[in-house]
Amino acid sequence: MGMWIVHIPSIEHRVGISHAVLGWLLLLLGAGAFAGMQIVGPLTDRFGARTVVPLSAAVCSLTLVLPGLATHAWTLGAALLLLGLGNGCLDVSMNAHAVQVERGYRRPVMSAFHATFSIGGVLASLAGARALAWDWSAAGTLGTAALLGLTVAALAAPALLPPSGSHPAGTDATTVPSRVRRSAPRHIWYLATLALMIMLCEGVANDWSALHLRTILDAPAATAALAYGAFATTMTLGRFLADRVAARLGPVAILRYGAAAAAVGLTAAALSPWIPLALAGWAVFGAGLSGCVPQLFSAAGHLDPDNAGANVSRVAGLGYLGMLAGPAVIGPLTHVVPLNLTLFLPVACCVTAAATAGILRPGAPAPNPHEAGAPG
pLDDT tens track for 17-34? 887 788 788 888 888 999
pTM of the complete model: 0.78
φ, ψ (nearest 5 deg) of residue 61: -65, -45
- Residues of the chain scoring pLDDT < 50: 165-176, 178-182, 365-376
Write the DSSP symbol of residue 107.
Answer: S
pLDDT of residue 4: 87
Q: What is the DSSP string of 256-293?
A: HHHHHHHHHHHHHHHH-SSHHHHHHHHHHHHHHHTTHH
Query: Could you tell me the sign of the dihedral formed by the alpha carbons of 235, 238, 239, 242, in that order?
Result: negative
φ, ψ (nearest 5 deg) of residue 317: -65, -50
Other CB atoms within 10 Å distance of the CB of residue 308: 25
Model pLDDT for residues 299-351, shown as the tens digit of each residue: 988 888 888 888 899 998 888 888 887 777 887 888 888 989 999 999 999 99
pLDDT of residue 184: 61
pLDDT of residue 165: 43
Amino acid at 361: R
pLDDT of residue 59: 96
SS3 293: helix
Other CB atoms within 10 Å distance of the CB of residue 318: 21
Environment class of 186 (CB within 10 Å of its CB; exposed 0-12, middle 13-18, buried 19+): exposed
pLDDT of residue 320: 87
Tally of residues, the chain: 376
Other CB atoms within 10 Å distance of the CB of residue 349: 24
Among candidates 91, 96, 251, 116, which has minimal Cα distance to 165?
Answer: 96
pLDDT of residue 63: 97
